[in-house]
Every structure is written in structure tokens, then in C-alpha cells.
Amino acid sequence: MGSGSSVVPVLFESQGRLGEWITLSHCWGNVQPVTLTTSNINARRAGIPLDTLSPLFRDAVVITRGLGYRYLWIDSLCILQDSHEDWTSEAADMGYIFKHSSLTIAAQASQDCHDGILSSSNRDWPDLSKWISLPCHSSNRRLSGKVYVQRSSKAPQVRNFLRNRAWTLQEEILPARVVDWNSRGLQWRCRSAHYDEDLSYGRGLEYRDLYNIAQIFKRVCLSRSAFDDSRLTQRSFHSLNLSKEAMRIWYNILSNYMSRAITHHADRLPALSGVAREIARLTGYRYLAGLWKEDMISCLLWSTSDMPARRLESNPSWSWISIEIDTSSISPTERTSFSSRSSVFKPLIEILGVNVQLASEDTFGQIKSARLHIRGLIGFLPNPGSFLGGLSWEEASKKINWKMDCFSDFEDLDFLDPNDFTFLQVSHTITAAGLDPPIEAEAVICLVLTPTGDNDVEFNRVGLAYVPQSLMRGRFVVKNIAIV
């Protein structure tokens, strides 16, 4: 970047050399930014004139130089946009790039590259001319100035275009330090504190703020050792089971991630690969098509809170990656979400193996196919009238808590006939209170399956169901099956 305003930035290839850099997190929007391609890479090495950059990129250069740094990483200018090989390689390294950057500039208020960082921030800053000005001073701290007060009112919502995009989630939580340029000013976020420009104090982190996802992820999952040296970290996390806590954090990150938009659905795994790598580093778990081998039974019990329109058929039905992103959010597993209400969680299946065919050497990246092999009780529910005093199928269906995956799997969601499905008993739970609609105290959590038609042991997942124990009297047999 150079240090002077007249210096022309160039494309710098580190070739393994060490240095300090700043990363830019931004929203592409509907406008194509300035890019790096195989046809212009030599020209970019010679120089990238500032007047050829969009306002957002120019502001990022100004900020980087103002902070005293020489290197700035921007995705569209540091990844060959017309090379799948380079994109795949850089996508695998993107988590490392953001994690080890000195600082990330988050252009939250910029909706695309033509929306400058400096011009878009502070748009919602309060009009101080309508506030009451009071003088204030502190002789002890040698401070003097003014305090502005007004009648309490609801502050306008901060515009944050980054929170709507899938790729920017890991760009938010992986860096050690982030400066947000949003519509109400600047925010500073790091592992130990969160400061707002419009507040005169910082908000420290206590463990009760567990679901402040970004900071807690930094504190638990990005620690250089099992625990940080600070007293706060030792006091907050000394008694944690780190693997269990990492899984709790993962499910909350995943739920947030699934509510975000993504342009290319094939990017679902790469866009979260940096986070998955850190979870794997901390736990030692193996990542398989978006699920964790060592916690596979819990991982299988995901469900969608808002049923998406369609399933992506090129992906395994048993993984959340088969669900269209940005129309849904993933609910945490049974063990996580009902831990305070369930006295028993007993697995009823055995995972025999998982076969994943990767699309590249990156075990956290895109996949071509995956098959899950399971041994467990599989079968059909009986006619409930035979043991429930003539209860009809429609009445029985209402006793089942259905959590079906997506609309495209069914012709009629008004009435789900249990006769149409095969049930795989996954776990047994007792006192699962609080479900909507409520079910009986004892229930069996089942994967709802439909046969692929290729053979009698291969199935697709179409949903999850909490079935009252009183209905589990059907024709169930222990069987080895495959879910694709």
C-alpha cells in the first residue's frame, strides 16, 4: 500500500514471507467490484491506481494507511476470480487470513462497492442540535467537555448489510480484532471488550453472555492454549468441558449462518470452513459433510425453524447442507435445546460409517457425495385404532411433533400420514416438556425417511419427529441401512 497518498498500490504476493496485514469484510451487493483475473494479474502487479478503485476500496486503502499498515487483503483483488483452482485454494485459506490479520475493517453500512465506508458510516448518528447540551469536567482526570442528553426514545436500528450474508459470518468471528463502520459510528470488538463510539464505556464479557457468538467464539475457540492467561477467562471458563462447549457454540453459529443469504449454494461448506477448522482444532473431532463424527447422533437431530421451499438434491439429505440457505435457520440438537427439560437422552442407533467423497483436498470444503450407514430400529407405526380405542390416523398424526425439512418433499403438509413414512428410532427421551404442540412425557425421537427406490435399505431423510411412546408399537426391526 505504501505510506503516502501519492503511492500507487500494487498486488503483492508474499510467497511465504511473514508480515502484518489488514483484511476487509464487505458486501458485494449487485455490483461487480474491481477484480483480479488471469488476464490482468500482471497489470495489478505493476500498480492499481486509486482512481480505478470503487469508493469502498479507496476508503479501505485510506484507513489502512492511516493505521500505519502496508498490506490490505481484499477478496476480489487477492483471489483470481476466473480460476476455480485458485478460488478453491484461497477459500480454504480464508479462515487463516482473517484469523491472523492484525485487524478487520467491517464495512457494515456499505451495501456494495460503490457505497464508501466513510460516507456510509454515521448516517444514523443522532442530530445533536436537538439535544440538550450540559457542560461537564473532571479535575482528577483532566477532562472537560459537554454531555448531550435527550428524552429517552427508541434508537433507530443500525444498518448492517454484512449480517445478511453467509460469507461474512466467519469474517466477523475469526479475527482477533474488528472495527465496524456502521450507520451509527464505529465499534471496536476484540476478545476482551466491545466499545461503541456513542458510548463512553466498554462492555466487558462475562460468561452469561454466551450467545454473544463472536466474542465467545474468540474467547473459547481461538485461545492459543486451553485457557487464556487473563483472570476473567480463568474465572469464566475454568470448569468448562471445552469439547462440549465448542459444540454448543457451533450449533449457535450454524443457526445464525443458515439464516443468511448466499449467492452460490455450492459455497455453503467453504463459507464456514474457517470456523469448522477452529472447532476441529479445539476438539479433535472429524468434520463430515457439515456434521461431526464424534457427535454424529446429536448432529443428526437438526431441524428447520422455518421450513424452506426446497431441498438441494445434490447433497446428502441427512446433512443441513441439503437445505436451501437463507430461508431457514437450524435449531440446535435435542441434547442442547432440551438439556434443561429432559432427564434422559438415550441413543438408540449405531453409526457404522460415513463415506464422503470430497471435491478437493480440503476436508472442510465442497463435497461430491456422502452416504451415512446406520444400524438401528427401523419400521412403520401401526394402525393406532388397534390399541388406542379407535383413534384415527389423523388424530394420531396430531399427537406426533413433526419437524419436516422442506416443502418440496411433500404434496400436502396439512395432513402428514404416518403410513407414508419409515421411522428410524434415534434416541429416547423422558420429560421432554415444552414442545409445541405438547407431546406425552416419554417420546422417541425419530428420523423420518422415505425409500430412494433403488433398494430396500437406502433412504432419504425428509424430517424429524417426536413420537409419543404410546405410538411406538409398530413393526420395527433392527436393520443396517444407508441414508443418502
In tens, the pLDDT along 329-360 reads: 666 554 443 333 344 568 899 999 999 999 99
% of the chain residues with pLDDT over 70: 75
C-alpha cell at 475: 413393526
Q: Which three cell numbers stand for residue 353?
A: 460409517
Is 264 domain-assigned? Answer: no
Name which of 476, 281, 275, 481 is nearest 380 in CA terms.
476
Q: Return the minimum-mean-pLDDT range out of 269-283, 328-342, 377-391, 447-461.
A: 328-342
Regarding whether 225 and 321 lie in a shared domain, the answer is no
Kindly state whether residues 244 and 375 are assigned to the same domain: no
Residue 17 domain-assigned (yes or no): no
Do 163 and 100 lie in one domain? The reply is: yes
* 227 shares its domain with 304: no
Beta strands in 307-366 (DSSP E): 330-331, 344-347, 350-358
Confidence band of 205 (pLDDT split at 50, 70, 90): very low
Average pLDDT over residues 418-425: 85
* Confidence (pLDDT) at 131: 76
Based on the fold, state whether residues 208 and 312 are members of the same structural domain.
no
Question: Which of 46-60, 72-86, 195-209 has the lowest average pLDDT?
Answer: 195-209
pLDDT score recorded for residue 208: 37
User: Domain boundary at 256, 291, 312, which?
Assistant: 256
Answer yes or no: do 217 and 330 share one domain. no
Confidence of residue 153 (pLDDT cuts 50, 70, 90): low
152 lies in some domain: no
Lowest mean pLDDT among 114-118, 221-225, 436-440: 436-440
Q: Does 75 reside within a domain?
A: yes
Model confidence band, residue 441 (pLDDT cutoffs 50, 70, 90)? low
- The residue among 438 and 381 whose pLDDT is bigger is 381
Task: Write down the pLDDT at residue 32.
Answer: 86
Report the C-alpha dihedral over residues 282, 254, 421, 295, rounded to 10 degrees. 10
**For residue 150, is pLDDT > 60?**
yes
Number of domains, the chain: 2
Ranked by mean pLDDT, the top range of 71-85, 240-254, 377-391 is 71-85
The model's confidence at residue 422, banded by pLDDT at 50, 70 and 90, is very high
Could you tell me which residues are beta bridge partners of residue 190?
177
User: Given a cut of 90, is residue 484 above it in pLDDT?
Assistant: yes
Residue 232 sits in the same domain as residue 193: yes
Among 86-95, 125-134, 253-262, 346-355, the range scoring the smallest mean pLDDT is 125-134
In the predicted model, is pLDDT for residue 296 greater than 80? yes
Tell whether the model's pLDDT for residue 403 goes beyond 70.
yes
Does 231 lie in the same domain as 304? no
Residue 444 included in any domain: yes
Based on the domain organization, do 219 and 307 belong to the same domain?
no
- Nearest residue to 181 (alpha-carbon basis) of 190, 189, 173, 169: 189
Listed residue (255, 235, 253) closest to 303, CA to CA: 255
What pLDDT sits at residue 337? 39
pLDDT at site 468: 82
Give the largest Cα separation in the chain, rounded.
86
Same domain, 474 and 388: yes
Q: What is the mean pLDDT of the chain?
A: 81
Tell me the HSE value of 345 on the side-chain side, using a 13 A CA sphere.
14
The rounded distance, in Å, linking the Cα atoms of 193 and 199 is 13
Position 241 in a domain: yes
Looking at 220, 239, 256, the residue that finishes a domain is 256
Evaluate if residue 155 carries a pLDDT over 60. no
pLDDT at 182: 86
- Residue 454 within a domain: yes
Task: Give the structural domain span for 428.
Answer: 283-483
Q: What percent of the chain has pLDDT over 90?
A: 45
One domain for residues 335 and 430? yes
Contact between residue 54 and residue 98 where contact means Cβ atoms under 8 Å apart:
no
Write down the pLDDT at residue 125: 62
Rounded distance between C-alpha atoms, residue 276 and residue 383, angstroms:
44
Which residues sit opposite 311 in a β-bridge? 323
- Asked whether the predicted pLDDT for residue 48 surpasses 60, the reply is yes
DSSP type of residue 8: P
DSSP secondary-structure letter at 205? -
Angle between helices 273-283 and 242-258 (to 10 degrees): 170
45 lies in the same domain as 193: yes
Residue 88 lies in a domain: yes
What is the reported pTM? 0.83
From CA 449, how far away is CA 322, in angstroms rounded? 15
